[in-house]
């Protein structure tokens, strides 16, 4: 069964189809109270909201007989919403930490009481280890004192060098490594992954010195912060959500760790009825920095070789993951509008005498980004069923010397050139540009694959 082709009127011209279906800034992107369950187990700071996914599940008239794909699934927003509605879903994600989070968030199999009991046992053992070092974990007592002055645990030098400086203080890091060691020694396969994800959430949100705004940053270092108690709190949230999940439909979900530009390698031909996703935007946000602390702590990224490997699997959206042998730009070599944007960026760089290595890459990352998306859309055709609907959440950008990049319009033009039909470009919200303070559009590009 396929989504009904009468769900919306098609328009062949994306520039005449920009419709203000929803507007607003941060409010539009916030979690609704009813959406905190499961989604808040671990949520990428740049995630789009579950209510937006629901809107397009309803608009495309998707149900249990359909299969929904999110080829840039991040931390699983689309997958969780599909699972809640009993809809089959497939996620593809190249970043190992985000891939892990999505896998855990669509696994509702652990017994919540067993999870709480085992976590309590692990916490008891970990506190006993800390007691031997004269260290307490009580949140109201974060003095940073170490009674017996034992040497604190730390990460290997290669791993430590990957972290943002002062992103976690020595004492909370020691506690985290003690807890990770106890989780390993007392491993219980029924709940280990959920316990590990809870620790990632607890460390980032409660124990680290990180803060998240437009970019990830570091606050003045705390001498100490709770780790075990914060982790147990997150375990409690997961257990409560698992209890509620047992009363809900649960659509099957699978998550592949793969490159969205090579999606046909992991998904069967003509098996997908709809796509709801948010790819990276062309800007200077290094998506690996946002999750760097937990990626390193959990061993997903151990050194700079690992980091480069992760970046190589991502669509080129910032200058920090551009490499000399990248060739995605050839996919849009004949696209005059994108080439014009790239030339404008380079001409402005020269006029402003900007000469840093990253600034010299601004025009190149622009063409690599849209080339990578073109490559993805071409590959995607192999797995789509005829009549499949697609919704891509993207945002206009002005990160490169304030040259405006109309991401939604350009993506729609690329898709149309590849044989997709363009429905609407719906306004989701507007947001304030960090550099210019101008309002930028965040939009949903709606496509249909005629097959």
| pLDDT tens-place string over residues 224-255 | 999 999 999 999 999 999 999 888 778 999 99
- Work out the burial of residue 45: count CB atoms within 10 Å of its CB; fewer than 13 is exposed, 13-18 middle, 19 or more buried: middle
pTM of the model: 0.90
pLDDT at residue 5, rounded to an integer: 38
pLDDT at residue 36, rounded to an integer: 76
Mean pLDDT in residue range 55-74: 97
Quote the distance between the C-alpha of residue 204 and its chain's center.
15
Mean pLDDT in residue range 131-152: 65
Lowest-confidence pick of 120-129, 331-340, 424-433 = 424-433
Which residues 6+ apart lie within 8 Å of 216 measured at CB?
45, 164, 210, 289, 290, 292
Are β-strands 421-432 and 210-212 bridged in parallel, bridged antiparallel, or unpaired? unpaired
d(CA 95, CA 307): 10
Give yes or no for residue 156 having a pLDDT over 50.
yes
Mean pLDDT in residue range 189-214: 94
Give yes or no for residue 82 having a pLDDT over 50.
yes
Asked whether the beta carbons of 48 and 77 are under 8 A apart, the reply is yes
β-bridge mates for residue 219, sequence order: none
| 3-state percent breakdown (helix, strand, coil) of the chain, nearest 5 | 45, 15, 40
Per-residue model confidence as pLDDT tens digits over 283-318: 888 889 999 999 999 999 999 999 999 999 999 999
What φ, ψ does residue 217 adopt, rounded to 5°?
-140, 180
Give yes or no for residue 132 having a pLDDT over 70.
yes
Determine the topology of domain 14-108+249-283+318-434 in CATH.
Rossmann fold (3.40.50)
pLDDT at residue 247, rounded to an integer: 81
Residues in the chain: 451
Give yes or no for residue 143 having a pLDDT over 80.
no
Per-residue model confidence as pLDDT tens digits over 346-402: 999 999 999 999 999 999 999 999 999 999 999 999 999 999 999 999 999 998 999
Are β-strands 216-218 and 253-257 bridged in parallel, bridged antiparallel, or unpaired? unpaired
Lowest-confidence pick of 50-64, 279-293, 354-368, 429-443 = 429-443
Mean pLDDT in residue range 89-97: 97
Looking up tokens 């187990």 gives 41
Give yes or no for residue 3 having a pLDDT over 50.
no
Which pair of structure tokens corresponds to residue 285? 């946000």
Which pair of structure tokens corresponds to residue 339? 């080439």
Domain ranges of the chain: 14-108+249-283+318-434, 123-245
d(CA 76, CA 84): 12
β-bridge mates for residue 92, sequence order: 256
Give yes or no for residue 193 having a pLDDT over 50.
yes
d(CA 344, CA 327): 21
Nearest Cα to 314, choosing from 265, 396, 382, 373?
373
């Amino acid at each position: 069964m396929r989504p009904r082709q009468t769900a919306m009127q098609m328009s062949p011209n994306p520039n005449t189809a920009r419709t203000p279906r929803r507007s607003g800034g941060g409010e539009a992107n916030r979690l609704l109270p009813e959406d905190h369950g499961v989604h808040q187990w671990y949520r990428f700071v740049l995630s789009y909201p579950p209510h937006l996914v629901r809107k397009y599940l309803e608009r495309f008239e998707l149900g249990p007989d359909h299969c929904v794909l999110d080829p840039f699934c991040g931390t699983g927003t689309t997958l969780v919403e599909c699972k809640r509605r009993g809809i089959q879903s497939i996620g593809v994600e190249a970043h190992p930490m985000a891939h892990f989070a999505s896998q855990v968030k669509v696994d509702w199999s652990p017994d919540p009481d067993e999870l709480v009991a085992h976590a309590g046992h692990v916490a008891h053992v970990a506190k006993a280890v800390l007691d031997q070092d004269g260290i307490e974990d009580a949140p109201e007592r974060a003095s940073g004192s170490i009674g017996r002055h034992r040497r604190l645990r730390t990460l290997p030098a290669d791993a430590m060098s990957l972290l943002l400086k002062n992103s976690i203080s020595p004492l909370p890091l020691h506690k985290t490594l003690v807890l990770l060691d106890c989780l390993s020694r007392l491993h219980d396969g029924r709940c280990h992954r959920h316990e590990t994800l809870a620790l990632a959430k607890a460390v980032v949100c409660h124990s680290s010195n990180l803060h998240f705004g437009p970019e990830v940053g570091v606050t003045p270092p705390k001498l100490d912060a709770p780790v075990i108690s914060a982790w147990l709190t997150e375990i409690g949230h997961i257990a409560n959500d698992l209890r509620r999940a047992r009363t809900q439909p649960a659509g099957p979900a699978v998550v592949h760790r793969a490159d969205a530009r090579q999606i046909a390698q992991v998904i069967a031909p003509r098996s997908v009825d709809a796509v709801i996703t948010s790819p990276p935007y062309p800007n200077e946000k290094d998506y690996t920095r946002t999750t760097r602390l937990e990626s390193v702590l959990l061993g997903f990224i151990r050194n700079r070789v690992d980091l480069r490997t992760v970046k190589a699997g991502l669509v080129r959206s910032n200058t920090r993951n551009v490499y000399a042998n990248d060739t995605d730009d050839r996919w849009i070599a004949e696209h005059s509008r994108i080439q014009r944007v790239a030339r404008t960026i380079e001409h402005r760089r020269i006029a402003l005498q900007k000469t840093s290595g990253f600034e010299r890459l601004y025009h190149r990352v622009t063409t690599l980004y849209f080339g990578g998306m073109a490559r993805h859309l071409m590959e995607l055709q192999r797995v789509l069923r005829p009549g499949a609907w697609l919704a891509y959440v993207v945002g206009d950008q002005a990160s490169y010397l304030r040259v405006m990049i109309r991401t939604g319009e350009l993506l729609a033009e690329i898709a149309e050139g590849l044989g997709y039909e363009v429905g609407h470009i719906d306004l989701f919200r507007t947001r304030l540009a960090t550099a210019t303070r101008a309002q930028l559009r965040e939009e949903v590009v709606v496509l249909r694959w005629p097959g």
